[in-house]
Structure 1
Amino acid sequence: MDLSVTSKQKMDGVYILSAAGRLDTNTYPRLEARVEVVLEEKPHTLVFDMEMLDYISSMGVRVIAKAQKTMKAYNGRVVLLNLQPQIQKVFDIIKALPSQQVFSGMDELDDYLDRMQRQVTG
């Protein structure tokens, strides 16, 4: 199976990258290229929506970890959304991201983003 990647700006400073298919050694350059384009905008939050992702290899994890490192350099954050059980298991095993950065759905993510923005605006 192939990989398709889309990106959209959800709100000011928040971008959602959606991946569908297999994220592996052959397909990770697609996601990596899209991440690089989005990071040029210096978002404060980068969301990886993995609802349609069937498989992730170490190269896929590397792309996410690299994005996290770049975002951390300017106090941005990476969050994961809609992880399928097999994808969640990979992150559980490697403990790549804290659990508070993994969301079960868009409503939970929106609540989190609302709380973060209220902290900034008062």
Structure 2
Amino acid sequence: MTLSVTSKQKMDGVYMISPAGRLDTNSYPGLEERVDLVLQEKPHTLVFDMAALEYISSMGVRVIAKAQKAMKAFDGKVVLFNLQPQIQKVFDIIKALPAQQVFSNMGELDDYLDRMQRRVTG
């Protein structure tokens, strides 16, 4: 399945972005473009509804981290909700990783994240 991304303004200054499908090395530009478009509106809160996201790679995590950094620049917040168990597992792993480099390259990290998500979805 490919990635589709929708966005809408929920209320003044609050935008919701909803990715659906697989967020990986091939599909992340679609989310990145949508995030950049929404950021032009200078929201105070950016909400990612992850209910329909089935898979996320390190590139997908990078898009969300980039959005957090951009929001922080103007005291905004990023909120994620409705994470599927395998997506939650990726964010748990990312938070648990030490600051030092653990993987030798992006491919190695993606392989590891892929294995962890497969364990959860079984």
- Is TM (by shorter chain) over 0.5? yes
User: SS of the residue aligned with 1:75?
Assistant: coil
In the alignment, what sits opposite 1:107?
none
Aligned residue type for 2:52: M
Query: If you compute each CA radius of gyration, which structure gives the higher value, 1 or 2?
Result: 2
The answer for the alignment partner of 2:114 in structure 1 is none
Provide the identity percentage.
Answer: 81
Q: Where does the alignment leave 5 or more consecutive residues of structure 2 unmatched? A: 97-122
Q: What TM-score do you get using the length of structure 2 for normalisation?
A: 0.77
Q: CA deviation at 1:81?
A: 1.1
Deviation at 1:95, TM superposition (A): 1.3
TM-superposed deviation, 1:18 = 0.2
Q: Under a length normalisation based on structure 1, what TM-score does the superposition of the two structures give?
A: 0.77
List runs of 5+ in structure 1 lacking aligned partners.
97-122
- Which 4+ runs in 1 deviate beyond 2 A? none
Alpha-carbon displacement from aligned partner over 1:6-33 (angstroms, at most 9, x marks no partner): 0000000000000100000000000000
The aligned runs of 1:28-43 (5 Å cut-off) are 28-43=28-43
CA distance in 2, matches of 1:47, 1:92: 19
State the one-letter code of the partner of 1:67.
Answer: A
RMSD (Å), alpha carbons? 0.9
